[in-house]
Amino acid sequence: MMRNIVLICIAFSVLSSCNIDQAPESYNHQISTAGNSWVIGDPFESKEVITEKGLGNWIYKDQVIRTYFHVDSKAEIQLGIQAESDYNSTIQVRFGKTQKDISFKQNHSGETYLGKWKIPEKGYYYIEFQGIDRQGKNFPNIQNLLIFADTNINIRYIKDDFYFARRGPSVHLNFPFDENIKAEYFYSEIEIPKGQDVIGSYFMANGFKQGYFGIQVNSETERRILFSVWSPYRTDDPNEIPEDQRIQLLKKGATTYAGKFGNEGSGGQSYQVFPWKAGVRYGFLLKAQPYEGHSTDFTAWFFDSEKNNWDLIASFRRPKTNMYLTRLYSFLENFIPETGVIERYGGFYNQWIRDTEGEWHELTNIYFTADNTARKENRLDYSGGNLNEGFYMKNCGFSNERTEIGTEFQRPATNTPPRIDFEALTQIPYKK
C-alpha cells in the first residue's frame, strides 16, 4: 500500500510565528487527537493510526496526521502536546509556515511546549506532525493537542460523541407545504457534481416522517439506491419489534435486496446496487397509500435518466399508520468516520408533491437544519442554500462555509410538473 505523510495540522497558510519563549503554567484547552485527527492522503489509514487513546501505532515516516480546531476570532495562542515515547525519536511539527523538529527521549511522558502563534482571523486551523527518525518500533503516542488562549477566545473542537462527530455534521432541507394537502406522491431530483461523490456519502432525496430514500457511495466499487421505512415500535434492535409492528415487504424490484435494519431505530430496508454517476441527474418518486384504515403502504421508484427508465425499488407496509406523506425533507450525511475529513456536496432539484386528486404542487421553499453534531458545535463545517435553479447541501472537510440553522431559502418555480406514466409504474417487473 502506498503510504501517506502523517501530520497534525492547524490551517497554516496565513499563520505567523511569534516569539517562542516559555510554556504557560497550564493550558485551558485539551484537544483529543482521538476525536480530532486524521491521516491525510488516505483517510482509511486513520483506523490504524488514530485509536480511542489518540495518535498511536505511528510507524511510517511518510504518514501525515492533522488535528483540527476552530478559532472564533483573531487571537494569540500557545501550543503544546501531551505525548508518550517508548523510544528515542524525532518528529517535525508544522504550524502555518513554521516548522520545527522535536526530539523525545526514551520513556518520555508528559507535556512538550511547541510555541506561540498569532491566529489572524476566524476559522478552522490544523497542526501537522511528521515522523523524521525513531530508534524503536513507533513514533511517540500523542494523546492531546494543548492550547492556551485568553478566556475570551472561543476555541471549538470535537469534545464528545467521537463516532458521530468524526463522521461530520448531517444537514437537511425541509420542505413545508399546506397541511390540508393529502400528499400521495413526492417527486424530486438529485445531481452530484463530479468529484463530490465521496465514499461514505448518503445523498437522501425523499425523506418523510416514516423513512428515507436516496443514493449512497459505499466503496470505491459499489454504489446503492437505498429506501428504508422505520417501524412504529421504537428500538435499535429489529429483533425486539413485536410481530404486529414489523415492516412488511409487499414487493421489490428484480435486483433489489430487502431485509431489516437497526442501530438508528429499526425497520425495513431495501437497496439496489446501482452505478449511478456524478454529473448525471436522477429522479426519485415516493408514494404513500393508506391501507384498510390501520396501515400505510410506502413505495419508492428510481428514474435512470440515461436510460429514460423507471425502476421499482420496493414497497413496504407500515402497521399502526394511517396517513399520507408528511414532514418532507432531504439530507446529506457521511456514514464513515474516516472520510469525515473530506468535503462533499450535492444538488437537490425540482421538488413536487401530487395530491389524491391528481393535482401537482411545486415545493419551492426550504428551511435549512443540521443534526446534533452541528447544534453542539462539535463541527462547524456545514452549509446549504440556493444552487442554480435548486438547492445544495455541503458538509465535512473543515471548510469555513457555514449556514445558520433555520435559514430559509426559495428556488425559482418551474411551473412544469413531472411527466410520469403512473399506469406504467404498476407494470414494472417485481418480486415478492
pLDDT digits 0-9 by tens, 54-92? 999 999 999 999 999 999 999 999 999 999 999 999 999
Tens-digit pLDDT profile for residues 384-413: 999 999 999 999 999 999 999 999 999 999
pLDDT on residue 432:
83
Mean pLDDT over residues 82-106, rounded?
A: 95
DSSP string, 47-85: HHHEETTEE-----TTBBEEEEEEESSSEEEEEEEEEEE
Can you give the three-state secondary structure of 277-345, one letter per residue?
A: CCCCEEEEEEEEEEECCCEEEEEEEEEECCCCEEEEEEEEEEECCCCCCCCCEEEEEECCHHHHHCCEE
CA 254 vs CA 222, 272, 350, 420: distances in Å: 18, 9, 28, 21
d(CA 141, CA 382): 31
Q: How far is CA 49 from CA 53, 151, 371, in A?
A: 10, 32, 28
**311 to 79, 418, 426: CA distances (angstroms):** 56, 16, 10
Average pLDDT, the chain: 94
The beta strand positions in 97-140, using DSSP E, are 98-104, 108-119, 123-134
pLDDT tops 50 at residue 136: yes
Confidence of residue 15 (pLDDT cuts 50, 70, 90): low
Mean pLDDT of 28-39: 97
For residues 343 and 400, is the Cβ–Cβ distance under 8 A?
A: no
Residue % of the chain over a pLDDT of 70: 95
Instruction: Output the pLDDT for position 118.
Output: 94
For residue 29, list its beta bridge partners. 147
Domains of the chain from N-terminus onward: 16-157 (2.60.120.260), 166-431 (2.60.120)
Torsion of CA 384, 385, 388, 392, to 10 degrees: 30
State which amino acid sits at residue 277: K
C-alpha cell at 200: 461514505
Work out the average pLDDT over 408-426: 97
State which amino acid sits at residue 104.
Answer: F
Which of 14-28, 172-186, 415-429 is predicted with the least confidence, judged by mean pLDDT? 14-28
Q: How many CB atoms lie within 10 A of CB 404?
A: 8
Band (7; pLDDT cuts 50, 70, 90) = very low
Maximum alpha-carbon separation in the chain: 78
Please give the C-alpha separations between residue 284 and each of 45, 170, 207, 351, 357, in angstroms, as whole numbers: 35, 21, 11, 10, 21
- Reported confidence tier of residue 16, pLDDT bands at 50, 70, 90: very low
